[in-house]
Amino acid sequence: MNIIFICGSLEQGKDGVGDYTRRLCGELIKQGVSVGMLAYNDKHINNKIEALQISESSSVPCLRLPHTWNSNKRCIESKKWVDFNNPEWISLQFVPYSFEKKGLPLGLANQLKKIGTSQTKWHIMFHELWLGLNKSDSLKNTCIGKLQKFIIKFLVKKLNFNVVNTQSQLYLNELNNLNFDAKYLPLHGNIPFMRRSKETSIVTNKNKLLFVVFGSVRKGTPLIPFVEEFVNYFKSTTNEGVLLLVGRSGEEQQKWAREFEKYKIEVSLLGEMNEVEISNLFQSSNYGITTTPLPLIEKSGAVAAMREHGLPIIIVSKSWVPKSEFLTNLPDNIMEYCQGNFSDLMKEKIKTTENQGVIFVAKKLISYLYNNTQEYKNEIKITA
């Protein structure tokens, strides 16, 4: 099987979907699949780059085309590269804002149609849909969302996708309301599990519980009541709570640090770390914290990475209520903070969950593609 993946950008560590795709490709190569990656609208370069990128100890062929080129030039260069590689499948890793800065990629469907051939099978992974899914969304976002929804419907019809996937139960519900026959493909994290060595091991005090905040820190969280309950809980125990903030999330991250430090809680602003350091930190921590709302939790690569390292996750987020009739269930190891329940969360028995990392996701994707390819159906049986 030969697959070309198309995404927006492929600057390592600067584009979540690009990082996701690179790691998936690295694992697919291990499983005997031929792959390539095409960055169709790369925001991080000004000239074409054709090179190998390394992931999962595999070398992945990549073509990166700058966003400064006009769409016709990018389309022609993409067509030449895709024809040379002659893939059976083209997989579009879709985020509206990856392909157009205002999130309105009006010409994308027609451009991609030219890149493929009459024999090309198309796969799409919806990482994001349209604005306006939240009951509290503004009128402006709702209007933009309607146009984005129209673009998505046209894209799916124009390319006649053979397999449609998404990582979110909410998105799955929305797509199947459009009769897209979408299937669930869970997200894997972008931080591989790495065995700890003495050189990288973090020495921790057994009486300290480490709470790590990894990923974007969103605005509007119930931070003050959460901190107050955090403080009161640890006053009543022999343990001490410690807050660890990873990455650079700007003012909101600083706001969290200031609020915890106000109560003399130990806080570490760790900044940007490499994969080995982050994996080591996760293995040394007790809880992960995310500010991603529950209905969107499955689309968070940061949450996926923490869960793959065995961390129970506490959601501390603003209210996010879907407009559609949709009931979100808490996945294993996920707990939602509501004002007044922090002590209850600390008493909750942590469920064990199977690690559904990149190996699982790669097998699952292969099974979807094989099951849609008639000549393979009787040749191979894949258990995902």
- For residues 340 and 368, membership in a common domain is answered with no
* 201 falls within a domain: no
CA distance 210 to 243: 6
pLDDT of residue 175: 96
Sequence-distant (6+) residues with CB within 8 A of 339 are 222, 225, 229
Q: How many CB atoms lie within 10 A of CB 95?
A: 18
* 231 falls within a domain: yes
* 171 falls within a domain: yes
Reported pTM: 0.88
* 203 falls within a domain: no
- For residues 161 and 213, membership in a common domain is answered with no
pLDDT of residue 269: 92
- For residues 11 and 150, membership in a common domain is answered with yes
- For residues 104 and 179, membership in a common domain is answered with yes
* 352 falls within a domain: no
User: Which stretch of 129-138, 191-200, 330-339, 355-364 has the lowest confidence by average pLDDT?
Assistant: 191-200
Range of the structural domain that residue 279 is part of: 208-347
CA distance 215 to 355: 20
- For residues 331 and 372, membership in a common domain is answered with no
- For residues 155 and 224, membership in a common domain is answered with no
pLDDT of residue 353: 62
Check which CATH number belongs to the domain holding 305 and give it. 3.40.50.2000
- For residues 136 and 58, membership in a common domain is answered with yes
Q: Is 312 left (phi over 0), alpha (psi -120 to 50) or beta?
A: beta
Nearest alpha-carbon partner for 13 in 44, 46, 37, 38: 44
- For residues 238 and 179, membership in a common domain is answered with no
> Residue ranges of the alpha helices (H) in 54-103?
71-85, 96-99
- For residues 228 and 336, membership in a common domain is answered with yes
> Structural domain tally of the chain?
2
pLDDT greater than 90 at residue 173:
yes
Q: How many CB atoms lie within 10 A of CB 325?
A: 7
Beta bridge mates, 37: 5, 62
* 43 falls within a domain: yes
- For residues 19 and 41, membership in a common domain is answered with yes
Confidence band for 373, pLDDT divided at 50, 70 and 90:
low
Which residue type is seen at 23?
R
Look-up of token digits 């605005």: 219
- For residues 367 and 280, membership in a common domain is answered with no
Which tens digits make up the pLDDT trace of 264-316? 999 999 988 988 999 999 999 999 999 999 999 999 999 999 999 999 999 99
* 353 falls within a domain: no
- For residues 247 and 303, membership in a common domain is answered with yes
* 50 falls within a domain: yes
| Concatenated DSSP letters of 115-180 | HS-TT-EEEEEES---S--BTT--HHHHHHHHHHHHHHHHHHHHHT-SEEEES-HHHHHHHHHTT-
